Amino acid sequence: MKKVYDFHTHTLLSDGALICSEQIRHAQINNYGAIAITDHVDASNIDFILNSLNKFIDTEKKYFKNIEIIPGVEVTHVPPVIINDIARYAKEKGAKIVVVHGETIVEPVYEGTNHYAVRSKYVDILAHPGIISEEDVKEAASNGVFLELSARNGHSLSNGHVCKLAKKFGVKLLVNSDAHEPDDFLNYEFAFKIAISCGVEYEEAIEILEKNPELLLKRCY
């Protein structure tokens, strides 16, 4: 059975439903090979989130077999001009993956968030970037920022647009769950359907689900 790689999930540390141990157990049940816990952060809670997450990983990670647990954050709704500073601070405090909450069409995200996110060397993934511009997709390609195809209701509405521009300019794509609830976790079959529904071919879907995660994991460690 093929493994799932999911780099965008949330726990009770922010607005998710599960504590970290539950999060990882659900991931195991769904045959995850790797999961990033990326709770929402701004300047007010970034230390609490990362201190709590790193304590969990230091204490319990060794007991969860056959799954890579990656500490991360999702920089969310911050003024765009401080995205780079928050992302840099997150990496200094132990985040292996920095996700930025992109300009999804279903939330009032600051205009300019996509612009600043794809230009930061500390940002790994721009999540659900909505109607992202060609200019920003080009910058993502230049700077090695992955773009997300979201499995989450609402956020997924712009997946086709994101996929089209990513293919045009050579940006690496990932399928992520943005899981907040137990029913949000992916399995490989559903993740594959998300990729195919965006208009990619079979081999491209395999690359998105298997090869691109390997590239990101190598960056983390």
Which alpha helices (DSSP H) does 112-170 contain, by range? 113-117, 134-143, 159-169
pLDDT tens digits, residue range 39-53? Answer: 999 999 999 999 999
Q: Which of 150, 161, 138 is nearest to 194 (CA)?
A: 150
**What pTM does this model have?**
0.98
pLDDT of residue 86: 98
CA distance 166 to 184: 25
| Terminal CA-CA length for the chain | 25
In sequence order, what are the residues at sequence separation of 6 or more whose Cβ sits closer than 8 angstroms to the Cβ of residue 38? Answer: 7, 8, 9, 10, 72, 73, 74, 97, 99
pLDDT of residue 1: 86
Please report the sign of the dihedral spanned by the C-alpha atoms of residue 182, residue 123, residue 167, residue 101: positive
pLDDT of residue 221: 83
Residue-range domains of the chain with CATH: 4-220 (3.20.20.140)
pLDDT tens digits, residue range 59-102? Answer: 999 999 999 999 999 999 999 999 999 999 999 999 999 999 99
The number of residues making up the chain comes to 221
Which residue positions in the chain have pLDDT lower than 50? none
